[in-house]
Structure 1
Amino acid sequence: MKRIFLTTLILMLNYLSYGQLSFTTLYTKEGKETKNIEEASYYRELSLLENTQVRVIEKYIQPNKTKLLGTFPSFKEKKFIGEKLEAYENGKIKYKELYSNDGVLIDTAYYYHPNGKLKIAYKYPYTIEKNSTKVTDTLILVYHDSLGNRHLFNGNGYAEIEYRNSTVEKGNYKEHQRIGNWTGSFMDGKYTFEESYDNGKLISGITKDSTNKEYAYDQKNFMIQPAYPGDIIAIRKFIASNYSYPREAIQNKVKGTVRVSFVVDTVGNMVEMKVDEDLGFGTGEAAIKVLKKAKKWTPGYMRGVSVRVAYSLPIRLDMSGS
Structure 2
Amino acid sequence: MKGLVVFGLIMFPIALLAQSKMTKKHVKPDTTIYNTVDAVPEFPGGIEKLGIYLSKMKMPALDTTEYIPGRVIIQMIVEKDGNLTHLKIVRSRNQTIDQAYLGHLRNSPKWKPGLLHGKPVRVLFSLPIIVELAYNNYRQTKNPDQN
TM-score (norm 2): 0.59
1:141-163 CA distance string (max 9 Å, x none): xxxxxxxxxxxxxxxxxxxxxxx
Secondary structure at 1:248's aligned position in 2?
coil
Partner of 1:265: 79
Partner of 1:288: 102
- Name the aligned partner's letter for residue 236 of structure 1: G
* Higher fraction of helix: 2
Supply the distance in 2 between the matched residues of 1:264 and 1:281 (Cα, whole angstroms): 23
Supply the distance in 2 between the matched residues of 1:227 and 1:250 (Cα, whole angstroms): 34
Supply the distance in 1 between the matched residues of 2:130 and 2:97 (Cα, whole angstroms): 11
Partner of 2:119: 305
What runs of 5+ residues in structure 1 fail to find an aligned partner?
Answer: 1-209, 212-221
Supply the distance in 2 between the matched residues of 1:269 and 1:281 (Cα, whole angstroms): 24
Q: Tell me the matched-pair count.
A: 102
1:255-296 CA distance string (max 9 Å, x none): 211111111101110111111111125121111011122110
Partner of 2:45: 230
- Name the aligned partner's letter for residue 226 of structure 1: P
Partner of 2:4: none
Partner of 2:59: 245
Supply the distance in 2 between the matched residues of 1:232 and 1:303 (Cα, whole angstroms): 23
**Which structure is richer in relative contact order (CA contacts within 8 A, separation 6 or more)?**
2
Shift of 1:227: 2.8
Please list, as runs of the form range in 1=range in 2, the aligned pairs for 1:165-244 lying within 5 A after superposition: 223-242=38-57, 244=58
Secondary structure at 1:266's aligned position in 2?
coil
* Higher fraction of strand: 1
- Name the aligned partner's letter for residue 299 of structure 1: P
TM-score (norm 1): 0.29
Residue identity over aligned pairs, in percent, reads: 25
Larger Rg: 2
Please list, as runs of the form range in 1=range in 2, the aligned pairs for 1:70-109 lying within 5 A after superposition: none
* 8 A contact 1:267–1:299 mirrored in 2: yes
Shift of 1:249: 4.6
What runs of 5+ residues in structure 2 fail to find an aligned partner?
Answer: 1-25, 28-36, 139-147
